[in-house]
Structure 1
Amino acid sequence: MRWSALKKRLVLLFDPGLDVDIHLTGLEKAKSQGAFTHLGLLRIRVDGAVVWDFPHQFKASLADHPGVTLATLMGVLHAYLDLPKNELLTSTVPNDPFDLRLALACMDRRIGKKKLLALAGRPDTPEFVRRILTLRFS
């Protein structure tokens, strides 16, 4: 599925009270020995604030996950669309070490406020989840 079609399907799932923008840019840069390196970014803004930013936000842990590329993240987006509503917060998505699924679930209109606030109260919840939920419920 092309990025524009995927983005449209995702945006339909988000809380209409949020101004969500998902931006994906992919570039290929030639290396000196003829091989290509895939560069790019996937950025999510909520009400103008950047809440999830690959690769910038995850530079410290990129070395631990060398196989994560934009293609991998596109696979996570596709997998999220295929998840049943009752599994959005509980199931895992393959090749999602940076919890993109969780960021999307926090903006998803199908998940109730009570479940999301319970998630925000857990000590192991990533900071970006708290930022998204603050923007969503403030």
Structure 2
Amino acid sequence: MSGPWSKLKSRVEDLWVPKLGLAIHATRYKAQHHNGAPEGHSRHWIRLNKTIIWDFPGQFLPDRPSRGAPLYGVNIANPNGGYRIGNLLRDYLDRDRDRLFEPFENDGWELTDILRAADRRVGRERLLAWAETTDEAHPALAVLRARFGLEAAP
């Protein structure tokens, strides 16, 4: 994707700790609707080094939810899928630093947790205190481990 996504991607990644090995990606692809009409679908994912740690809509589909809120009854194609991710990223960017730990209304996918874990404006002490309240399988913990050089819990 080019244009608006590239600018949004750059703004988000500029907040992250340098050399973390984290990147957010998006792609849009065309598909055929069951009635024969063309429709667009989008996919967003976050990669830490070479491992995908967050994948929308893949890991949130009703037949394979792995974390967060499954998308029961939600059309994952735009405008109900990909555009929600873009809006959520903008909401994160617009929020004051001291309010980053407040819940984001439209984040049923733990995306803002990953953003927060990588955000260079948030200090180690605050992030590690937050991490203690988070379950071990949370993808944001992988970011914190990479950021602070921590070992995974046994």
Structure 2 length normalisation: TM-score? 0.78
Whole-Å Cα distance in 2 between the matches of residues 121 and 49 of structure 1? 23
Structure 1 length normalisation: TM-score? 0.86
Whole-Å Cα distance in 2 between the matches of residues 50 and 120 of structure 1? 20
Q: Mark the runs of 5 or more structure 1 residues left unpaired by the alignment.
A: none
Q: Which residue of 2 aligns with 1:122?
A: 133
Q: Which residue of 2 aligns with 1:63?
A: 72
Q: CA deviation at 1:98?
A: 0.5
Q: Which residue of 1 aligns with 2:50?
A: 48
> Are the counterparts in 2 of residues 65 and 97 from structure 1 also a CA contact under 8 Å?
no
CA separation of 1:116 and 1:64: change in aligned 2, threshold 3 A: farther
Q: Mark the runs of 5 or more structure 2 residues left unpaired by the alignment.
A: 150-154
Higher helix share: 1
Opposite residue 17 of structure 1, the aligned amino acid is K
> Are the counterparts in 2 of residues 38 and 69 from structure 1 also a CA contact under 8 Å?
no
Note the alpha carbon deviations across 1:31-60, whole angstroms, 9 max, x for none.
132555442211111222222111222222
- Report the number of matched residues: 137
> Are the counterparts in 2 of residues 45 and 51 from structure 1 also a CA contact under 8 Å?
yes
- Map residues 1-138 of structure 1 onto 2, 5 A cutoff: 2-59=4-61, 60=65, 61-63=70-72, 66=75, 68-90=80-102, 92-123=103-134, 127-138=138-149
Q: CA deviation at 1:17?
A: 3.2
